[in-house]
């Protein structure tokens, strides 16, 4: 928008400038719908951005109001749609139901207390782009190396305990820090407690925790395996880049994939036999088993609901 | 030796290995573990480094001090050695060590248990310049060979050191525990201070060491020090039956016959009663119970130093510790700790690079990769002349799109120059002539955290035909810079290439 006062003499010039000023002020006052807008801190928000919390509760940006032009639109209003996943039935046989919590308008990025991201992690690979050889990187501060602290020749088995130079890091790491990092690096939709189901019949392995000679613990696959039927519901126990540990619940298969044929069994499961509540942040250990599966073999439950245009795993 | 706990036993009834649930599938035999992928060393295997004087330091090796304190090797930094072969142990630089102490504790109901704590973790620098020696673990205990009533162990390596050779006399003064109540001997503040002056050696069974009885057997009641006057009254038996699982503390060495015998203070009520014994309690008034108390003389073959028990079962406390403090908290946490084991926090970039420099990982990667030959399985790939993307998770090397969170390899076939290669009928071989380790940090990508990075192994491939060099990058998001990345790269590439070792005739 160019103001041309003084450039063209007379009435035409004045009219042009008045129109231009009017348009500018209208642009500032009116927040227009946009697909993407920018926050004050420089980050951007897009429609379709998703934020997942525990147990597959989800918030989705459905609409954005921005000011300014299409290329540099400032966020003025953010419409967020929230849903929650509830379990219905007994621990022996249950189904999931998605409940809509409604849509609300946030007046700007300041009210966004979660990070909304797009799910796709696809990018354009270019050789030598955004990468640096570690040979070219500055070495760490040599002050931190413990080599200069004592004469190693004086160390023997007689004073071995003293020969250990304690690391800077505490033995017990900062749990909050760890939680933050783990949560950040995981796929958003596959957080611990997220509801998932097997997209096809999977042969999955049981797992064990092994403590190695260096006292570190690792999760290792066992020889014992079992088939997880397509449509079997489960919750994420832990996830990493390409695989996840899932607690699958027997007796809670999505109905469209199949149902228990044994009428008596179905009746028993519906009545919900006696079971003991345990302290657990996942649904229930009753008739559950824990196996490792590839992330490609499971689907987050909201994706199923979206695609099937339904809000229940059983009609 | 490594303990293994079946996941799934972590919820429901109890969870951590105890003497009772050992046979209830909580702890399973390591043979049940799926074999690691071929050619790869399982994590925590006996990796070791060596010094020029012949000393060898293996991860998992330990030395024992006072009161079952021990120092354990948890890792090492090594120096690159041009002369070392692929299977040789690398030369040692620094040792990563962990100091552990064992304490006698009391459960709320007064029953004793032993608890191990990680007390000091750090580095023993320039280990080859010191006079420190370690021994590698030789004993292997088969806790699963059950005779129905006891824990039966076997020594894979024959009689243990204490039995085969006269035990080395401890330099420390023996602690006379005669008449003292061991339950009152809770750790004092200066006990940790004493460790500073305590020699550490290979003898796990020594004065003051905590032990667990591994075999139900009859044991002679200990006599007095001078061997002249029996320390037992007339109405006490000269022999008592000591059940498996009882805890004790070695007071001193009693004698040495075919094996070493130890005068051991048994901690009363330190193990749960066997089932049949519990039933007999009903008839307690009718049948006089033979109480286990005081000191008995036990052979080395009937006892195990407590650290071996902890290692075997992957726990840090004995049975009655299950209901207390940290143990109870771990049990009640169920599977909530799985994420930190399964997907631990990635190393911050600066630390990752610093560690790699310390370990000379870049040099190691270069040495392992340069000279490898990649033989194309499918000649048609060259004809396409497009960049090939291979994914670790994709089935049978199916082509896929670049994904920030996946381990992938990118081969620049699009950079092939015109040549006569299409007319050639023999398989095309690409030789790695150069290798580098790079850090990839995407700019202006809001879909990932700001501290996201990936480790790039960048190779230059030289074809056996005249077509110029081809770049190859294998990208590992948030990975540690270590030699194993070369194996991972080879694994990803193996879907389209046959990986052959370097030609011996090459320099």
What pLDDT, on the 0 to 100 scale, is given for residue B142?
A: 58
3-state SS, residue B345 = coil
Radius of gyration from C-alpha coordinates of chain B: 29
Alpha-carbon span A147 to B122, nearest angstrom: 12
Tell me what pLDDT residue B457 has.
Answer: 96
B314 touches chain A (CB under 8 A): yes
Q: What are the residues facing A206 on neighbouring strands? A: none
With residue A197 as reference, give the H or E element that holds it: strand A195-198
**Strand partners for B98:** B72, B121
CA count, 13 A, side-chain hemisphere, A303:
14
Banded pLDDT at B90 (limits 50, 70, 90): confident
* B98-156 pLDDT tens trace: 999 999 988 888 888 899 988 889 999 899 999 999 877 665 655 544 443 334 333 33
Residue with tokens 């370990």: B359
CA closest to B1 among chain A residues: A213
Mean pLDDT, to the nearest integer, of A264-292?
78
- Inform me whether the C-beta atom of residue B433 falls under 8 Å from chain A C-beta atoms: no
Which of A41, A182, A209, A225 to mutate against chain B (most B CBs within 10 Å)?
Answer: A209
Half-sphere exposure of B149 (CA within 13 A, CB side): 11
State if pTM tops 0.80: no
Q: Say whether pLDDT at B184 is over 60.
A: no
Residue A259 has phi, psi (to 5 degrees) of -140, 160
Q: Are A121 and B404 in contact (CB under 8 A)?
A: yes
Does the beta-carbon distance from B446 to A178 stay under 8 Å?
Answer: no
Q: Which helix (H) or strand (E) element contains residue A208?
A: strand A202-211
Contact A222 B2 (CB under 8 A): no
Q: Does B345 touch chain A (CB under 8 A)?
A: yes
Helix (H, G, I), strand (E, B) or coil at A295: helix
Give how far Cα B444 sits from Cα of A24, B413, B449, Å: 30, 28, 11
Closest partner residue to A140 (CB to CB) among B2, B33, B354 is B354
- Name the 3-class secondary structure at B41: coil
Residue B189, pLDDT above cutoff 60: no
Going by C-alpha positions, the residue among A281, A286, A230, A299 that lies closest to residue A258 is A230
- Give the pLDDT confidence score for residue B167 in this predicted structure: 37
User: Residue B210: what pLDDT?
Assistant: 95
Instruction: Report the percent of chain B where pLDDT is more than 90.
Output: 25
- DSSP-based three-state secondary structure for B322: helix
Mutate to test the interface with B, among A161, A162, A170, A239 (most CBs of B within 10 A): A161
Average pLDDT of the segment spanning B487-491 = 93
Please tell me if residue B452 touches chain A, with a CB cutoff of 8 Å.
yes
How high is the pLDDT of residue B272?
A: 77
Q: Scanning every residue of chain A, which has its alpha carbon at the shortest distance from the alpha carbon of B8?
A: A290
Interface contact A125-B195, CB threshold 8 A: no
B448:A130 CB<8 A: no
Residues 6+ apart with CB under 8 A from B260: B162, B163, B167, B205, B253, B299, B300
In chain A, residues with a C-beta closer than 8 Å to the C-beta of B311 are: 211, 213
The mean-pLDDT minimum among A94-103, B53-62, B103-112 falls in B103-112
Strands A232-239 and A243-253: antiparallel
d(CA A187, CA A197): 16
Report the run of H or E that residue B210 belongs to, with start and end. strand B210-213
Contacts of A294 in chain B (CB under 8 A): 393
Report which of B456, B432, B430 is spatially closest to residue B368, judged by C-alpha positions: B432
Chain mean position to CA B336: 22
Parallel/antiparallel/unpaired status of strands B112-124 and B92-106? antiparallel
Mean pLDDT of chain B: 75
Out of B340, B442, B477, the one facing A241 most closely (by C-beta) is: B477
Chain B residues whose beta carbon lies within 8 Å of the beta carbon of residue A277: none
The stretch B48-72 carries a mean pLDDT of 92
Using CA of residue B270, residue B272, residue B277, residue B281, what is the dihedral sign? positive
End-to-end CA distance of chain A: 57
Among residues A182, A302, A50, A214, the alpha carbon closest in space to that of B96 is found at A214
Find, among B466, B390, B396, the residue nearest to B428 by Cα.
B466
Chain B (165-184) residues lying within 8 Å, Cβ to Cβ, of chain A: 171
User: Which residues in chain A are closer than 8 Å to B12, comparing Cβ atoms?
Assistant: 278, 285
Confidence of residue A16 (pLDDT cuts 50, 70, 90): low
- Who among B34, B121, B131 is closest to A205 (CB)? B34
**For residue B350, which residues of chain A lie inside 8 Å, CB to CB?**
140
Strand-pairing partners, residue B220, are B239, B297
* Residue B270 to residue B264: CA distance in whole angstroms: 14
**Per-residue pLDDT, A118:** 79
Instruction: Average the pLDDT over each of B6-15, B22-31, B284-293 and give the range with the smallest value.
Output: B22-31
Give the separation between CA B497 and CA B429, rounded to whole angstroms.
9
Contact B338 A245 (CB under 8 A): yes
* Number of other residues whose CB lies within 10 A of the CB of residue A240: 20
B 254-283 residues inside an 8 A Cβ radius of A: none
- Rounded Cα–Cα distance for residues B375 and B378 (Å): 9
- B230 to chain A nearest CA, in Å? 37
Mean pLDDT of B371-385: 83
Which residue of chain B comes nearest to A208, CA vs CA? B6
CB B208 within 8 A of CB B66: yes
* Pair of tokens at residue A200: 């096809």
Kindly calculate the radius of gyration of chain A based on its CA atoms and give it in whole angstroms: 29
DSSP letters, B16-83, are: S--TTGGGTTSB--GGGBPPPSTT-PPTTS--EEE-TTS-EEETT-EEE-GGG-EEEEEEEEE---TT
Chain A residues whose beta carbon lies within 8 Å of the beta carbon of residue B340: 178, 182
* B444 vs A: CB within 8 A: no
The two beta strands, B70-78 and B62-64, are antiparallel
B349-359 and B361-369 helices, crossing angle to 10° = 70
pLDDT at A21: 47
Question: Does B53 contact A at CB distance below 8 Å?
Answer: no
For B122, name the nearest residue in chain A, comparing CA atoms only: A166
Backbone angles phi, psi at B63, to 5 degrees: -130, 145
Residue B507: exposure state from Cβ atoms within 10 A (0-12, 13-18, ≥19): exposed
DSSP string for B263-310: EEEE-TT-SPPPHHHHHHGGGTTTS------SEEEEEGGGEEEHHHHH
Total count of residues recorded for chain A: 315
Cross-chain residue pair B410–A127, CB shorter than 8 Å: yes
Closest CA to A19 of A31, A9, A5: A5
- For residue A183, pLDDT over 50 is answered with no
Distances from the Cα of B178 to the Cα of B6, B114, B220, B263, B364, angstroms: 42, 20, 16, 11, 57
Per-residue pLDDT, averaged over B200-229, amounts to 80
E-state strands within B12-91: 48-50, 56-58, 62-64, 70-78
pLDDT digits (tens, 9 = 90+) for A206-252: 998 888 888 888 899 999 999 999 999 999 999 987 889 999 998 78
> What residues have CB less than 8 Å from B404, skipping those under 6 apart?
A121, A122, A123, B442, B445, B447, B448, B452, B454, B477
Work out the percent of chain A whose per-residue pLDDT is above 70: 76
pLDDT over 80 (residue B181): no
Is A147 a residue whose pLDDT tops 50? no
C-beta separation of B110 from B315 below 8 A:
no
Beta bridge partners of A65: A33, A77
Residue B176 has pLDDT above 60, yes or no: no
Q: Give the residue on B whose Cα is nearest the Cα of A172.
A: B118
| Count of pairs with CB atoms under 8 A, one residue in A, one in B | 295
Secondary structure class of A151 (helix, strand, coil): coil
| Cα–Cα distance for residue pair A115/B243, rounded to 1 Å | 59
CA distance B295 to B307: 21
């Amino acid at each position: 928008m160019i103001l041309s006062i003084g450039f063209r003499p007379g009435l035409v010039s004045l009219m042009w400038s008045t129109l231009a000023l009017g348009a500018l002020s209208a642009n500032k006052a009116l927040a227009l719908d946009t697909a993407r807008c920018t926050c004050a801190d420089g980050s951007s928000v897009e429609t379709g951005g998703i934020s997942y919390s525990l147990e597959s509760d989800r918030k989705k940006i459905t609409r954005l109001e921005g000011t300014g032009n299409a290329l540099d639109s400032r966020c003025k209003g953010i419409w967020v749609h929230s849903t929650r996943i509830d379990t219905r039935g007994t621990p022996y046989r249950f189904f999931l139901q998605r409940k809509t919590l409604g849509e609300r308008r946030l007046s700007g990025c300041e009210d966004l207390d979660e990070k909304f991201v797009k799910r796709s992690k696809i990018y354009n690979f270019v050789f030598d782009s955004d990468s640096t050889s570690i040979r070219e990187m500055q070495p760490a501060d040599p002050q931190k190396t413990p080599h200069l602290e004592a004469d190693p020749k004086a160390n023997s088995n007689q004073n071995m305990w003293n020969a250990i130079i304690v690391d800077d890091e505490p033995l017990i790491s900062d749990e909050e820090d760890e939680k933050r990092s783990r949560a950040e690096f995981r796929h958003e939709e596959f957080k611990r407690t997220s509801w998932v189901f097997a997209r096809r019949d999977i042969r999955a392995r049981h797992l064990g925790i092994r403590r190695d000679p260096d006292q570190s613990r690792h999760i290792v696959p066992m020889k014992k395996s079992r088939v997880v039927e397509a449509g079997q519901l489960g919750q994420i126990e832990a996830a990493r880049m390409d695989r996840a540990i899932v607690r699958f619940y027997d007796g809670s298969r999505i109905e469209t994939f199949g149902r228990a044929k044994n009428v008596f069994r179905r009746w028993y499961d519906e009545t919900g036999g006696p079971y003991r509540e345990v302290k657990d942040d996942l649904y229930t250990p009753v008739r559950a088993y824990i196996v490792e599966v590839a992330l490609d073999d499971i689907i987050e439950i909201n994706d199923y609901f979206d695609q099937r245009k339904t809000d229940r795993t059983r009609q | 030796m490594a303990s293994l706990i079946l996941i799934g036993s972590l919820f429901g009834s109890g969870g951590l290995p105890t003497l009772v649930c050992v046979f209830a599938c909580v702890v399973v035999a390591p043979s049940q573990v799926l074999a690691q992928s071929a050619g790869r060393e399982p994590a925590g295997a006996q990796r070791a480094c060596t010094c020029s004087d012949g000393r060898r330091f293996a991860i998992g090796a330990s030395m024992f001090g006072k009161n079952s304190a021990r120092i354990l090797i948890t890792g090492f930094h090594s120096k690159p050695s041009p002369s070392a072969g692929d299977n040789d142990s690398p030369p040692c630089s620094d040792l990563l060590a962990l100091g552990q102490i064992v304490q006698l504790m009391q459960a709320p109901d007064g029953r004793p248990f032993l608890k191990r704590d990680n007390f000091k973790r750090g580095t023993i620098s320039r280990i080859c310049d010191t006079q420190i020696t370690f021994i590698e673990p030789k004993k292997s205990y088969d806790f699963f060979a059950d005779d129905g009533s006891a824990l039966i162990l076997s020594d894979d390596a024959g009689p243990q050191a204490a039995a085969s050779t006269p035990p080395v006399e401890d330099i420390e003064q023996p602690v006379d525990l005669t008449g003292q109540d061991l339950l009152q001997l809770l750790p004092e503040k200066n006990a940790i201070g004493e460790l500073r002056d305590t020699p550490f050696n290979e003898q796990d069974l020594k004065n003051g060491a905590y032990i667990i009885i591994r075999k139900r057997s009859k044991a002679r009641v200990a006599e007095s020090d001078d061997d002249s006057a029996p320390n037992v009254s007339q109405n006490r038996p000269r022999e008592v039956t000591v059940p498996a699982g009882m805890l004790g503390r070695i007071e001193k060495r009693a004698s040495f016959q075919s094996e070493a015998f130890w005068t051991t203070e048994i901690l009363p009520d330190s193990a749960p009663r066997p089932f049949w014994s519990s039933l007999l309690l009903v008839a307690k008034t009718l049948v006089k119970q033979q109480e286990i108390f005081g000191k008995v003389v036990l052979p080395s073959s009937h006892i195990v130093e407590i650290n071996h028990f902890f290692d075997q079962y992957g726990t840090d406390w004995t049975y009655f510790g299950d209901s207390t403090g940290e143990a109870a908290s771990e049990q009640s946490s169920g599977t909530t700790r799985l994420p930190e084991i399964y997907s631990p926090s990635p190393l911050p970039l600066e630390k990752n690079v610093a560690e790699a420099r310390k370990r000379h990982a870049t040099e190691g990667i270069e040495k392992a990769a340069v000279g490898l030959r990649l033989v194309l399985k499918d000649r048609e790939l060259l004809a396409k002349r497009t960049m090939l993307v291979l994914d670790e998770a994709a089935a049978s090397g199916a082509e896929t799109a670049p994904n920030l969170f996946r381990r992938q390899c990118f081969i620049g076939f699009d950079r092939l120059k015109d040549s006569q290669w299409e007319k050639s009928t023999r398989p095309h071989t690409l030789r790695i002539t150069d290798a580098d380790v790079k850090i990839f940090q995407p700019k202006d990508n809001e879909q990932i955290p700001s501290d996201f990075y990936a480790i790039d192994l960048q190779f230059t491939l030289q074809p056996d035909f005249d077509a110029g060099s081809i770049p190859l990058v294998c990208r590992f998001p948030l990975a540690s810079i270590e030699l194993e990345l070369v194996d991972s790269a080879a694994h990803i590439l193996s879907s389209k290439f046959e990986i052959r070792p370097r030609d011996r005739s090459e320099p």
